[in-house]
Every structure is written in C-alpha cells, then in structure tokens.
Amino acid sequence: MKIAILSRNSKLYSTKRLVEAAKAKGHEVVVIDHLKCIIEIEKKRPKIYYEGNYISDIDAIIPRIGASVTFYGTAVVRQFEMMKVFTTVESQALVRSRDKLRSLQVLARAGVGLPKTAFTNYAKDSDHLIEAVGGAPLVLKLLEGTQGLGVVLAETKNAATSVMEAFHGLKARVIAQEFIKESGGADIRAFVVGGVVVGAMKRQGKEGEFRSNLHRGGSASLIELSEVEELTALKACKALGLGIAGVDMLQSTTGPLVLEVNSSPGLEGIEAATGKDIAREIIKFVERNVD
C-alpha cells in the first residue's frame, strides 16, 4: 500500500512516527507538503500536481493539517477524496472540527456534555453573556486560538467585561465559557482511532496556570478512563464524523465535559504518557479501510 502523509515538516515527531509505523508494516510512504500542491479541477478528472509531477497511485492519506492552513489543507484533502483516495480525516469533518462555535453546536445537539458556553457579536451584551455561563470567574476564548493561546481566565465581572471589550475592539470573535473549578487546572485527552479509544492521558497545568496544554508547560500522565468518559469521547468523535481525534475533556461534578475535539492531535505527548504505539494504531486503521 502507498500512504501519503500530508505534513508541512517531515521532521515533526508525529510525522516521523507515522512514517516509521507505515514502513514497519511494509508500506510505501511519502510525505507531501499540502501547501505546495496545485489543485486542478476538471470534470471527472481531478488532479494534484506536486513538485514537478502529478500525484498518482496513492491508496490513503493521513492529513496533518495545521489550524493556520485549514482552508487550503482541507481543499487538498477534498481533492484526494475526489480522486477516490481514503483519508483518515474527511474534509468536511476537518472543517467542522476547526470551527469552534460550530463544533460546540454540533456536540450539544448530539447530547455531549459541555461547559456552559455563550457567544455574541455585540459587545454591549457582555452582562448577559457573563451571567449565561454562571458569572465570574469565567473563561474567554478566541474562536481562532490554538494550543492554549487566546484563552483568558477572567476572575471578576469587570475583568471579563474589559477583556471582551478589548477583543471586540480588535474585531476578534470570542466565546465565554463556564469555569470548572473542580477540574483543578487539569484535563483529559482521549485519543480515538476508528471508533476506539487507543490511549488516554491526564494533562496538568503548571502551578498557577489553569490551562493544561503541554505547549504551555503542562505535564502528562497515564489515566484509565471511566466508562462514561470513554463513551463521551466516542460520542463526540461520531458527532463530528472524525475517524481520528484527540478529545479534550474536563472532569466535573456533573460528569465529563468536552472542551474541544482536535482533528490533528499530536502523538508525542500521548505516546510518552501511555507508552503505547499510537502511530501503529493509525496505520492499522488505514489498513482496515483500504482494500
């Protein structure tokens, strides 16, 4: 089988691990920088031109699309789909997951537990927005933020109002979310591949930090999910149509609450915390879906 990994950097940990896992299973593997692809659209003749040649004979792709290039990355994935190539993350699911507001609406409709969330395009509605999520303290998030960037904990109502006014002044879109104090600055990431949780870790923010992202200095450790946490992760993936995802959840007194579903989750943190070969599980998922 010939597998293409869509990645802008072949030296990234996740990309290298996927290449290793594919080769270990006897497959041919190439790394393609999706931003360097030229998409040619013609009736019944979809083509992709890359580095002097037309791409052909690809059996499956594993998209590793960064948030900053979602638009073009998704277009490349869609073109491969038109060429009848299997993808571990479908283009529509990628778009759905990257729109934070849309994904939360989809998850809520599917009955997935979420922190109370509110959004407005009108700055003067800040008082109601704050009350809608249970008052201060509350969390404010930029819709376009990633890896913990653009996330602010507002301790008071005045602080929340000031932050929202600043964001609105910059024409930035922001959502307000309930602060789950009992989570203690920690969250859970469940790594789902093909409808199965293949690994889970608990991420703890560094002292004085409510964000648990590893990119923000947090630490990770192995955790065994409860039945309801595992079911919540699987339900979230199914609602968004994702074959591979990292589901981030908070532990609360009312049960697991989903913060976000990441459609291009990194492998380094989860493999280090669990000791599991997650890359191999992804290649096995590809094998199950390609004749």
209 has pLDDT over 60 = no
- Residue 139's identity, in one-letter code, is V
**Selection from 6-20, 126-140, 196-210 with the highest mean pLDDT:** 6-20
Distance (Å, rounded) from C-alpha 245 to C-alpha 86?
17
In the prediction, which pLDDT does 171 show? 81
- Residue 17's identity, in one-letter code, is R
150 Cβ contact list (under 8 Å, min separation 6): 141, 142, 144
214 has pLDDT over 60 = no
274 has pLDDT over 80 = yes
- With beta carbons less than 8 A apart as the criterion, state whether 255 and 271 touch: no
- Residue-wise pLDDT for 136-166, tens only, equals 999 998 877 555 567 889 999 999 998 888 8
Report the pLDDT averaged over residues 49-57. Answer: 96
E runs forming strands in 194-243: 196-204, 219-222
Q: Identify how many contiguous H helices and E strands the chain contains and give both numbers.
A: 9, 16
Q: What are phi and psi of 120, to 5 degrees?
A: -145, 155
- Residue-wise pLDDT for 80-137, tens only, equals 999 999 999 999 999 999 998 999 999 999 999 999 999 877 667 788 889 999 999 9
202 has pLDDT over 80 = yes
217 has pLDDT over 60 = no
In the prediction, which pLDDT does 208 show? 56
In the prediction, which pLDDT does 172 show? 82
- With beta carbons less than 8 A apart as the criterion, state whether 234 and 191 touch: no
190 has pLDDT over 70 = yes
pLDDT, averaged across the chain: 91
55 has pLDDT over 60 = yes
In the prediction, which pLDDT does 216 show? 53
Residues found in the chain: 291
Share of the chain above pLDDT 70, in %: 93
